[in-house]
Amino acid sequence: MSTEPDQTPTYVAKGQEFDRDMTYVPDRITRDARTPEHGPVEGRLWPVEPGRYRLVAAAACPWANRTLIVRKLLGLEDVLSVGMPGPTHDQRSWTFDLDHDGVDPVLGIHFLRDAYEKRFPGYPRGITVPAIVEVETGELVTNDFPWITHDLFFEWTEHHRPGAPDLWPAELREEMETVMKRVFTEVNNGVYRCGFAGSQEAYDAAYERLWTALDWLEERLATRRYLMGDAITEADVRLFTTLARFDAVYHGHFKCNRQKLVELPHLWGYARDLFQTPGFGETIDFEQIKQHYYVVHTDVNPSGIVPLGPDPSGWETPHGREALSA
């Protein structure tokens, strides 16, 4: 079974283990369309240019949520516009249901698929968010989500706000890569591995892997304010978007229910700390998150009923983690 962020499947394949398809349009946006120092170069290189592109990122999607947070942290709102599809979609495409007449006011489309098809007629893969679209042509540029946030930091430097955080500290990058790899495989993707398991055996194994990683994170965050120490990095952005959805969706809907986030003192304090940091909490819409998972995943939740809880007010309570920043 395979799928892509975030064109999530509408079936659970019986007897199979969840396997995420990580094939994306590999184009990169770089300063002067130069060859970047970091990462693969398999597709076309596009130049950084304010106003040229539009980021399409649904608030409901954790992978797209990363881009919304990084865009805000770096102060790129005036140079990279954002279009936000609604929380629900069918097999065809994400749609701009939240906009007037269901049409994105800049791209002039209802279906995000139109931007994919404009560049790749008959595009055969899932229509995913986040996606970056060239405004003038209406064509998809890239949907390669790990590299979108990476390049917003490394390639859009000229347009960062004064005092923007260093999300990739040079002295920490090697360790960061190890931490982020484990966060992705075991937590970001681990909750999906539980939710879309096609057999009891696959679920049991996924559940054990997830909680082994969450226990590791709980221990790690007992002595440091953020994943890499005293400052927020890209690693924190990547973990936060899963934690923000944990009690509202993953605990019940995906059966990740050994404990709730609010029962894990260090992870819960850490998540609240980030939520209350400018750039994080304002990108979270718990109602859209719940509507997406509980309505779109008809195999997991055939009734389509969206739960009313949990109460989100706890996210604003004091976290007390300032003491960990010496």
Closest listed residue to residue 240, CA positions, set 67, 8, 4: 67
Q: Which residues contact 89 (CB under 8 A, 6 or more apart)?
A: 95, 296
How far does the chain reach from its first CA to its final CA, in angstroms? 46
Q: Contact 29/155 with Cβ under 8 angstroms?
A: yes
Task: Write out the DSSP string of 145-193.
Answer: HHHHHHHHHHTSGGGSPTT---SS-GGGHHHHHHHHHHIIIIIITHHHH
Strands (E) across the chain are located at 28-30, 45-47, 53-56, 81-83, 131-134, 140-142
In the sheet where 131-134 sits, what is the strand order? 81-83, 53-56, 131-134, 140-142
Sort strands 28-30 and 45-47 into parallel, antiparallel or unpaired.
Answer: parallel
- Residues with a catalytic annotation lie at 61, 192
Residue 50 burial (CB count, 10 A): 13
- The identity of residue 153, as a single letter, is F
CB 112 within 8 A of CB 129: yes
* 94 annotated as ligand-binding: yes
Residue positions forming the annotated binding site: 94
Residue positions forming the annotated binding site for glutathione: 94
